[in-house]
Structure 1
């Protein structure tokens, strides 16, 4: 066991305890957590700083308003329902389209083909309000959000849903990145805990590398059969610039930034995470420690977002 841990340390792997003790606790002001934990607050913060995000249609914050959801969405055939304080993709519901019968009763068609009737949607939103999916177990709010159109780059390599790019940012410097692609198992959601795949991304040019599924390296996407290594993500510099700008936006030094690539609008901030997971190291086949230590030695000089991004691309 000691030999095993020594090998991890020598490889520069960041573990949970070191992540918390050396980076999250000392570098992330506790008072800033609500800005990233609460997705509605994140959206308001982004809007006030001209950071592009998916449109938020409405928020349901009390049980008496649940019955108004069909009215709130009457002009929206597709949409996303998510808890304001959720985590790990729990509670997110993606509706691909809505159909209405002759009496005006809606049926909601989820990504993957499953249908939901109005009562099921109400039940799901009520679960969100009761805190079923919240990070702290307390009562929550439900956000009704725009469903994006995936960039054409993902058409042949992803399984339904919307892919996203996770970038770890430390003191304003991007230090590691991973593409997350939905699978049939994940229900079209780009969440590793629910069965999505992660793909390492080279910081310099956005070139895809290793594919990981449930912490194991695999050769290709399990559903599309497409090999991913060597493909280049579009708008890579813009993605890194958006991720790095979240340092100033959030006031957090160590965070994960999730970005989606929309066909029409380009890179959009999806959300930020003050406690990003560590599976990104497996997808890149390298540890985070050397990059984090490099930033600690480098970040004493005040630099622009553009300068930080270019330094990360050159050195990491």
Structure 2
């Protein structure tokens, strides 16, 4: 803890960062040293250039120019772009309850239970009973519905996600088959979890991957004149390697989407070479990575509705799912989209919406010198 505080203060001074950004960056940079113990000086050299290990290697900056790219340090120095309101979207439970009773709730999955930090099971807005419940009641509900999603209240990259299934007298958490007693013992260990409806991908997305919901990241930012614009959008498909999540850093496929909802070709992280590779077909299903996002207009409207309802928010990485029921749902909203996912196709600063970041960089330097 002492080392982290010292390093956080160093980053604040070295890169003129706010406390929140420096704290998050120190965690990432220290993790780089931990993950690459034998490459201490290589890691240090990369950090001194302003990049994290992943951002540097994924983009293969050792072999191409990096000076026109947004640096990891510059990106974290902007954080929190939503100021004191970041916690509204960083916490999935807060996000849900801010939408309950409004026109936005139709975009949210059904939230049935919470397992709090003490292991208590609580009924949420879409469950008929409220207050303190039991693990047995949760399991009975799983038996009645057939499947549920278990995810952390606050988390990212799909960490800690479980698919709960009951079929033919058998219980499963992800691929692990359990008896009812074993499932109860497993769930008694859970802390700070939400239990929601399990969503299935739209039929047009099933050929790419049927085991994940194939989330669409729709990143929007508010310009200095108050106008909200789309900065970047991409869809992620699961793979055998990524399992029940489809995150790029976990081995999933990432395909950029243009303004008309069209995607073509994909990005895959090569864990051996430690860099990004371009692919034309899904590595497992063989399906050509080319298509049109269904209900694209519905996604655009949902984003506009959310931004209008919450004018306090300036930077939102909205994770949409187009479901098998032809619905547009919001899984979560991220306040700090991973930088590597934004620059696989080139510098985000050179994109048509790169001005969003350039303006924030200028504002930060002005405030730092004030």
Bin the TM-score by the shorter chain. 0.7 to 0.9
* CA distance in structure 2 between the aligned counterparts of 1:257 and 1:120, rounded to whole angstroms: 36
Structure 1 match to 2:94:
41
Q: CA RMSD in A?
A: 2.8
Q: 1:271 aligns with which of 322, 327, 332?
A: 332
How has the CA–CA distance of structure 1 residues 205 and 16 changed in structure 2, closer, same or farther, with 3 Å as cutoff? same
Distance in structure 1 (CA, Å) of the matches to 2:70 and 2:188: 38
CA contact (8 A) 2:255 2:265 kept: yes
Match of 1:191 in 2: 247
Aligned partners of 1:46, 1:67: CA distance in 2, in Å?
A: 27
- Name the residue aligned to 1:154: 205
State the partner residue of 2:38. Answer: none
Shift of 1:210: 3.1
Q: Name the counterpart of 1:180.
A: 236
Alpha-carbon shift at residue 170 of structure 1 (Å): 0.6
Gapped regions of structure 1 (runs ≥ 5)? 101-106, 130-139, 299-316
Whole-Å Cα distance in 2 between the matches of residues 297 and 14 of structure 1? Answer: 9
Secondary structure of 1:48's counterpart equals coil
8 Å Cα contact 1:206/1:232 also seen in 2: yes
1:309 corresponds to: none
Change (3 A) 1:143 1:98: farther
Quote the residue 1:289 is aligned against.
349
1:1-316 map, 5 Å: 7-10=65-68, 13-22=69-78, 24-25=79-80, 27-30=81-84, 32-51=85-104, 52-61=107-116, 62-65=118-121, 67-68=135-136, 69-100=138-169, 107-110=170-173, 113-129=175-191, 140=192, 142-171=193-222, 172-202=228-258, 204-214=259-269, 215-229=276-290, 231-250=291-310, 251-283=312-344, 285-290=345-350, 291-295=352-356
Aligned to 2:272: none
Cα distance change, pair 218–282 in 1 and its aligned pair in 2 (3 A)? farther
Contact 1:212 1:282 in 2 (8 A): no
Label 1:187 to 1:50 Cα distance change in 2 as closer, same or farther (>3 A): same
Shift of 1:38: 1.4
Long gaps (5+) in structure 2: 1-45, 50-60, 122-133, 223-227, 270-275, 360-370
How many residues align structurally?
A: 273
Larger Rg: 2
- Preserved contact between residue 164 and residue 172 of structure 2 (Cα < 8 Å): yes
Normalised by the size of structure 2, how large is the TM-score?
0.66
